[in-house]
Chains A and B, each alone.
Chain A
Amino acid sequence: MGGYILRRLLQAIPVFFGTTFLIYFMVFAMPGDPIIAMFGDKTPNPALVAQLRAQYHLDQPFIVQYFIYIGGIFRGDFGISYSGVPVGDILLRTFPVTLKLAVIALFFETVFGILVGLISGLRKGKLFDASSLVISLILISLPIFVIAFVGQYVFGVQLGWARTTVGPGAPVGDLILPALVLASISFAQIVRLTRSSVIETSSLDFVRTAYSKGLSRNRIVPVHILRNSLIPVVTYLATDFGVLLVGATVTEGIFNVPGVGNTLYQAIIRSEGPTVVSFVTVMVLLYLVVNLIVDLLYGLLDPRIRYVK
């Protein structure tokens, strides 16, 4: 087990170098000169341009820039954004906000998705099942910005239950509405996934055997049906948590959430190499860790999966 975790963490090293290099290269290869773009419509002052280039090491060859950047990371220095703020500070400011948003969204989609999916699966073909299928289909088909605007209008403007935009410091209360919007599509997916998984498990032989042992339905559903049905759902939740952490550009934009998605989007537009690469790198590492946790969780859910030392 310990050996397995160590091996997985060691695997993260080549992934780290690979992704940082690729992203850095792609930002470098983007058309347009970020320094010239800073001046907008004004005529750039050649001396100032040269100074800025030197400051951001843009006068060096690509490979040198990359190693200067990587060297900085190992000293805890993620570089300076073009607006003059250390990237490390931006990371520290935005990631907690997105993490909060992601955890709230994950909580809603997991609890309600599995609950609705389980009931649907157990009552296949009944009214509850039919309605949950229709509702989940609608949620899946709608683009997220539509759900976001509708939610903002109904709950924020008409009913006044929530604030339409997230206030400074991103308090948890303000994040609930955007989190619900963010969770809606995944919720629908989890409902469908849980439902089909429950239906499949219910028809398996060992469930019939469990009944033949004289067990009650109240015991069989959680012990023999739900637990076995959760394995594919956990896979989905893992990838989804990764997606949520990466930030939801559209939702964060609509609700003005000062999170990762919003910030990264701005950085990409401005070709800010250090910012983009730092954000993506942190995301990749987070993704790796989440995946590792999920793989370990599998072993707990399904004893057939055991990790060889």
Chain B
Amino acid sequence: MSSTMSAPSSAGRADDRVPLLQINNLQVGFQTQTGVVPAVRGASLSLHAGETLAIVGESGSGKSTTAHAIINLLPGSGKVTGGEILFEGRDLTKISEKEMQQIRGKLIGFVPQDPMANLNPVWSVGFQVQEAIKANGIATGRADVKKHAIQVLKEAGLADADKRLKQFPHQFSGGMRQRVLIGIGLSSRPKLLIADEPTSALDVTVQRTILDNLEKLTREIGTALLFITHDLGLAAERAEHLVVMYKGQVVESGPSREILANPLHPYTQRLVAAAPSLASRRIQSSVHRLAELDYSATDVTEGLDLIETAEVRAEAAAAASKREDAIVVKDLTKVYKIRGNKEAFTAVDNVSFSIQRGTTMALVGESGSGKSTVAKMLLRLEDATEGQILINGTDTAPLKGRALLDLRRKMQPVFQDPYGSLDPLRNIGNTISEPLNTHKVGDKKSRRERVYELLEQVSLPNALASRYPGELSGGQRQRVAIARALALKPEIVILDEAVSALDVLVQAQILQLLSDLQTELDLTYLFITHDLAVVRVIADHVTVMQRGKIVERATTDEVFDNPQMDYTKELLNAIPGAGIALRV
């Protein structure tokens, strides 16, 4: 396709039409002390005006780097080393910074990934929207700019925009901030909007409303959307075309439904098999068991499959006789006093549930629903305002000293952020053996052996013991965190969003690992998550929380097949890919 042709003037799909954006054989490298490390190695894609294209891939696949290269905002030492990026026929890799400035914001809008970090905390929201409007010459004059800002924010879903202009980002929730960023991105009616994982930091229900709105807006304005995500289900649901990237290369591209129904590349096949959003749906319709699966294999029929995991679980649960309760929670309430406010905040309101030994209960809800507070009280990191927690029949509230230490030994947590929960200055071996030291279990030699045993249990090589967290990937770190939790041979593991921060493939591996460990060690899990998609493959029972209260409690099958409450239905609908027909 020629780069000198003028931009298309009419809408309407035709293959000989010049695309709005065409990337040919793009190469991007990062300069390091040991030379240039390639991040994108020959990526090509094309996007026509008014269309939607999703780039899918795991972290490090080069999908975000490709997006940033388009508007020349590569981080640090990143540089385009080859290929071309044609936008309306102009090669963006060859234009000056000044010309690029004219394109950014005005012709190509950008919605970043993390709404918490992408608004300047010291300027009001209104200021930051108006600044974009002024810079792109959309409106001039104070009143005009302000009017435009309010309109843009209202479109983006901030109904009371006029009242909130003077507020600062920290007074906005994550979802609200993302709406502001979308408003900024679309403020000058760009021809192309790049959305880099715009909702991966948000709750599923919020994600859904925001993406619905984004879809509606871009369609109305006629903006083409380049959507970047790690979730294949989400990509397929939101975009007409898919580009799958793996290790800096495009491995597969084409219409979304086709790719999903008939993935050709082994990596895409693995992505389809591992995506919890898709797997949870297929479990419902799958009737026959699949063959024994192995993650490392490239062929999907031998690859990791969450359906397998879920089926094994279900069978084991059915075979087991009536088990006694490991955790019983009765009328648990937690009230926080708010400074400068007479009214107290009830984070957890009269919550009761029980978990049988060797089973998993998923505690599901959006952020702020009180699920993490329940976990903190179970772990005795917070004291309950009212109510009772019985672990193996013992009330935990009066425990002190030695007895509390014994309780902690039986109950171990794994937290969400594998980057934050490991001490960067402590090597992996010491990290895992720390609980053993604290509880004075064994001597130096036996602790070392236990570390190796644990590393093996979580499928990590022994050599990792002398490495540091900074040298590990997110998935490996989470395995280390799980190994540490298992060090004391606990009976109960509390997993607080333990897989939410991980890529889909890694997420699938960890879920499988957790499932295997449960069978092997007869563990009881409290699995806290905001994502119902992963619940299906790991949990026996589901408890749904909303604003501190339990709204639904049932077995996993009942919740998925026959949800009783509107809120649960809403959560189920919010699972990406819910509307896609799948080959099962």
Contacts and interface: CB of A to CB of B under 8 A. Distances in A.
B122 A228 contact: yes
Given A203-B76, A205-B112, A214 B181 contact: no
Nearest to A201: B120
Which range holds the interface residue count of chain B? 35 or more
Interface in B121-143: 121-124, 131-132, 135-136
B114 A308 contact: no
Nearest to A225: B120
Q: Main SS of the interface on chain B? A: loop
A308 B101 contact: no
B12 interface: no
Interface in A205-252: 205-206, 208-217, 219, 223-224, 227-228
A303 interface: yes
Contact of B105 (A206, A214, A219, A227): A214
A227 B136 CA distance: 23
Nearest to A230: B122
B119 interface: yes
A227 B122 contact: yes
Interface residues of A, number: 25
A309 interface: yes
A11 to B, nearest CB: 18
A91 B131 CA distance: 51
A204 B122 CA distance: 13
Interface in A274-303: 301-303
Contacts of A206: 117-121
A196 B110 CA distance: 28
A208 B135 contact: no
Nearest to A224: B120
Interface in B69-126: 71, 73, 75-76, 97, 101-106, 109-110, 112, 114, 117-124
Nearest to B106: A214
Contacts of A215: 101, 105, 131-132, 135
Contacts of A228: 120-122
A42 interface: no
B339 interface: yes
Q: Main SS of the interface on chain A? A: helix
A166 B123 CA distance: 46
B181 A209 contact: yes
B555 to A, nearest CB: 42
Contact of A301 (B104, B122, B168, B184): B122
Contacts of A205: 112, 114, 117-118
B398 interface: no
A304 interface: yes
B75 A208 contact: yes
B136 A214 contact: yes
B104 A211 contact: yes
Nearest to B98: A216
Contacts of A309: 340
A146 B119 CA distance: 47
A224 B132 CA distance: 13
Given A208-B73, A211-B104, A212-B104, A304 B136 contact: no
Given A205-B114, A208-B73, A304-B170, A213 B131 contact: yes
A72 B105 CA distance: 68
Nearest to A214: B105
Interface of A: 203-206, 208-217, 219, 223-224, 227-228, 301-304, 308-309
Interface of B: 71, 73, 75-76, 97, 101-106, 109-110, 112, 114, 117-124, 131-132, 135-136, 168, 170, 181, 184-185, 188, 339-340
30 contacts: A205-B112, A205-B117, A205-B118, A208-B75, A209-B118, A209-B119, A211-B104, A212-B71, A212-B109, A212-B110, A213-B110, A213-B132, A213-B135, A213-B136, A213-B184, A214-B102, A214-B103, A214-B104, A215-B135, A219-B135, A223-B131, A224-B120, A228-B120, A302-B121, A302-B122, A303-B170, A304-B122, A304-B168, A304-B170, A308-B340
Given A214-B188, A302-B121, 8 more contacts: A209-B110, A211-B104, A212-B105, A212-B110, A213-B132, A214-B132, A219-B135, A223-B123
